[in-house]
Amino acid sequence: MAEQKPTVTQDDIAAGLRRCGLRRGDKVLVHSSLSAFGRVEGGAQAVIRALLAVLGAEGTLMMPTFSQGKVEVWDHDRTPSFNGRISETFRIMPGVRRSWHPTHAYAAIGPDATRYLEGDYRYVTWGPESPLGRLIADGGWVMLMGCGHGASTAQHHGEVAGNVRCFGIDTSPVLFYDQEGELTGAVAPSWRSGVCPWSARDHERQLRYLGAVRDTYIGAAHVQLIKGEMVIKAVVRLVTGLTGIDHCASCRQHPDTEMFENYRRRYPADKPSRGEPWR
Ligand X SMILES: CC(C)(COP(=O)(O)OP(=O)(O)OC[C@H]1O[C@@H](n2cnc3c(N)ncnc32)[C@H](O)[C@@H]1OP(=O)(O)O)[C@@H](O)C(=O)NCCC(=O)NCCS
Q: In the complex, which residues of this chain contact ligand X (CB under 6 A)?
A: 31-37, 39-40, 43, 64, 66, 83-86, 147, 151, 153, 273-274
The least CB distance from residue 88 to ligand X, in Å, is 8
Which is closer to ligand X, CB of 39 or CB of 115? Answer: 39
Which is closer to ligand X, CB of 123 or CB of 184? Answer: 123
Which is closer to ligand X, CB of 155 or CB of 206? Answer: 155
Whole-number Å distance between alpha carbons of 235 and 239: 6
CB-based contact 69:114 (threshold 8 Å)? no
The least CB distance from residue 219 to ligand X, in Å, is 9
The least CB distance from residue 147 to ligand X, in Å, is 4
> Which run of H or E residues covers position 53?
helix 43-55
How far lies 208's CA from each of 102, 213, 226, in Å?
A: 34, 6, 10
Which is closer to ligand X, CB of 193 or CB of 240? Answer: 193
Whole-number Å distance between alpha carbons of 118 and 249: 36
Angle at Cα 162 formed by Cα 170 and Cα 127, nearest 5°? 55
Which is closer to ligand X, CB of 104 or CB of 237? Answer: 104
Which is closer to ligand X, CB of 36 or CB of 236? Answer: 36
The least CB distance from residue 207 to ligand X, in Å, is 17
Sort 178 into a burial class: Cβ within 10 Å, 0-12 / 13-18 / 19+.
middle
The least CB distance from residue 81 to ligand X, in Å, is 8
Give Cβ neighbours of residue 190 (< 8 Å, ≥ 6 apart): 167, 168, 169, 170, 171, 255, 256, 257, 258, 259
Residue nearest ligand X, Cβ-based: 84
Which is closer to ligand X, CB of 33 or CB of 184? Answer: 33
The least CB distance from residue 198 to ligand X, in Å, is 17
CB-based contact 51:24 (threshold 8 Å)? no
The least CB distance from residue 142 to ligand X, in Å, is 10
Q: What is the four-CA torsion angle of 254, 157, 100, 114, rounded to 10 degrees? A: -170
